[in-house]
Amino acid sequence: MQNRDSTQKTIFLVEDDLELAQLISERLEREGFRVRHEANGRAACGSILSGQPDLVVLDIMLPDLDGFGVCREVRPGYKGPILILTARDEDIDQILGLELGADDFVIKPVRPQVLLARIRALLRRVNPEAVQTAPRTITVGKIKINSGRREAHLGDEEVELTTVEFDLLWYLTDHAGTVVSRNDIHLALYNTEYDGLDRSIDVYVSRIRQKLGDDPADPRFLKTVRGVGYLFVGEET
């Protein structure tokens, strides 16, 4: 039997497509992760809360209790990252998952290299043993964001952000006044190049605008530069 490294991260995979679950599990195990699998949403809730895995990969379409329900039930008692899998390329699915406490999402069909990059990125952000730079505070107009406390404020009000939303806002404010491309953002957040298909950044930009009270038709803070990328201004115009 293979010896298990005590530092080995445990991924809890909730997926009822057994063939896909096997493919994902084998790939993650080859990359050094320990994988636990559950096909039933209701059963997964108890296992996640009792086992407290390092990260949960959660499909949306599940028997007994769907992924949204699982996320809703476990989020209060599970502090690790949740990455959802959705078969539908619809913003509403991703937004609902994020509102229920998911940290990131990957759209099916799952590309193993994308899933792996997202998992590693989420684990880096929550790993207390990771090498950290000295905390910094960035102030751009009314926006103030602190890397040590991972807090963002708009004026006197704290802006509640998910893990990825915070990292994206940090990157954008750190490059305020400069147009950044989707490829720049993917490299910074996921350490992978933009493939021209992934729309996750668009969803996160939309979410950040909403939380900053920005009008997407005429944004004051976070502007889209068509065909190029995004520009964070930070000042009301």
Tens-digit pLDDT string for the chain (237 aa):
344 445 789 999 999 999 999 999 999 999 999 999 999 999 999 999 999 999 999 999 999 999 999 999 999 999 899 999 987 666 677 888 888 889 999 988 888 889 999 999 999 887 645 545 567 899 998 999 998 888 999 999 999 998 899 999 999 999 999 999 999 999 999 988 998 878 889 889 999 999 999 988 888 899 999 888 999 987 654
Task: Give me the half-sphere count of Cα atoms (radius 13 Å) on the Cβ side of residue 90.
Answer: 6
The torsion of the CA quartet 76, 79, 81, 85, rounded to 10 degrees, works out to -30
Coil vs helix vs strand at 162? coil
Instruction: Give the residue range(s) of CATH 3.40.50.2300 domains in the chain.
Output: 10-126
Instruction: Give the residue range(s) of CATH 1.10.10.10 domains in the chain.
Output: 137-232
pLDDT, position 158: 95
- Alpha helix (H) ranges present in 84-219? 91-99, 112-126, 163-174, 182-190, 200-211
In contact, 116 and 30? CB cutoff 8 Å: no
Structure tokens that stand for 114 in this block: 């994308």
Residue 143, strand partner residues: 140, 154
pLDDT, position 57: 98
Q: Give me the phi and psi of 236, to 5 degrees please.
A: -70, 135
pLDDT, position 44: 97
Fold of 10-126: Rossmann fold (3.40.50)
Q: What CATH code is assigned to 137-232?
A: 1.10.10.10
pLDDT, position 59: 95
Residue 86, strand partner residues: 107
Cα distance between residue 27 and residue 189, in whole Å: 22
Beta strands at 229-232 and 222-225: parallel, antiparallel or unpaired:
antiparallel
pLDDT, position 215: 87
Length of the chain: 237
Can you give the three-state secondary structure of 208-223, one letter per residue?
A: HHHHCCCCCCCCCCEE
Q: Give me the phi and psi of 27, to 5 degrees please.
A: -65, -45
Cα distance between residue 68 and residue 96, in whole Å: 8
